[in-house]
Structure formats: C-alpha cells, structure tokens
Amino acid sequence: ARPRHAERRSSSAMHHHIHNPRHQCLLLTCICLLVALLPSNVASFVIPSSRVHQQPSSSSQRPRSLVLTSAPEGALPDIVVPAIFDFNITDAANDNSDPRVWVPQTDCLSFRPLCFCTSQGYYVNLLKFKGGGILGRHRHSSPVHALTLKGSWGYREHDWHATPGTYVFEPPGETHTLIVDEDCEEMVAMFHVTGSLLYVSEESGDIIGFDDVL
C-alpha cells in the first residue's frame, strides 16, 4: 500500500505545479490555441476572468475577459423587426400606426417589407390579402421560400392548399398563379424571394413585367 505521507507529497506537488508561473503560461497558451481552432460560425466565446488564475495585480492592470466574435470587420448590423404578427399595425386605433409599414398594391393586396439585400439579390416580405384575391400569373428566376402565418392560399396550377404553419419551397422557373379564396377574411404569408419575379401573360406566355430587389 502507498504511504499516506507520499499521497500528501503528491497532492502538494500538483498544487505547486498549478501555481508555477511556467505551468500557468502553458495553460493559457493551450486555451488560446483552443479558441483559435473554434469554427468560424461560433458567434462568441467568453472566458470569465474568474475562471483563469491571475497573479495579484494593481488596480491599473485589471484582468479582462477574452471575447471573440465571428462578425467580420465592416459587417452590416442585424435587422430586428418587432411585432410582425401585428398584421393590423396601420389601423386607426393604433396610435403608433404608420401607413408606410404596409405598401398597397391593389384594393385587396398589400405587402410589408422586412429585408432588402441588393448585394445578394433577395428580399423578404409579408404578403397580405383581405377578402380573397389573385396575384397574377408569374414565375421566379431563382428559388422562393414561403411560410404561411394566417389564413390560407394556394396556386391554381397545384392541388395543395397552404394553411397557418405551412412551408412552401418554389423551384426556379415554375409558373403559377397565387389564389386566396373569397371566404378567407385575411391571409398573411412571409416570402423569401431570390432574383426576379417575372409576370407572365395568360394568353401568350410572354413576360410582361417584373419585380426585383434592384
């Protein structure tokens, strides 16, 4: 059996190694290497100063936490749009209403822009129909993603029907006509549109107009 005094010496030696300045330097070097190997998509990594042993220092040399961020220099700030589920934000009863929030396109159709990205050629908006309606026949040059938030809608050329919570992916090049039934009091869906929206003639199939973020 190992003598108890030997165990005490081993514990004391380990305590000595931890407080040895050379070992502290090696520990900090290992931590820095670990941080450098983190994947670039990690938003932030913080090591509180209380977790790293510090030598006593004067008030002018206070220890600081190590903070890294993945955002490159010159990156655009985040876009935060509150209360997107307040679909009637422009009602007169709302003291904070702003008529520019929803942009009217027809008597029954309006949209609310959330993001315009001209550098990558896409936009995100909310599309709202009141009392049913039709968005003319069109197709997209690039993929489109849609998420239904309220009401229901579909495409004349498909047999599926989107209801709240339905996600839809539209492949590029597909031609369709968006329809909202007249008995639907209000429909709201979020669309992520990449590239151009090309309006197509019902008779000839020719392109008669377009929308895009530019």
**Beta-carbon neighbour count of residue 175 at 10 Å?**
13
81-90, 93-102, 195-204: least confident range = 93-102
**What percentage of the chain reaches a pLDDT higher than 70?**
62
Q: What is the pTM of this model?
A: 0.62
Q: Are strands 103-104 and 109-117 parallel, antiparallel or unpaired?
A: antiparallel
The segment with the largest mean pLDDT, out of 76-80, 95-99, 174-178, 210-214, is 174-178
CA torsion, ordered 207, 211, 212, 214, to nearest 10 deg? 110
Q: For tokens 């931590």, what's the residue?
A: 31
Handedness of CA 169, 111, 198, 192 (dihedral sign): negative
- Answer left, alpha or beta for residue 70, where phi above 0 means left and psi between -120 and 50 means alpha: alpha
Which pLDDT score, from 0 to 100, does residue 66 have?
56
pLDDT tens digit string along 32-85? 444 444 444 433 333 333 444 445 545 455 555 555 567 777 777 888 887 788
What is the per-residue pLDDT across 142-158, written as a single tens digit (0 to 9) for each? 999 999 999 999 999 99
Interval 8-24: pLDDT, tens? 444 444 444 445 555 55
> What pLDDT score does 71 carry?
73
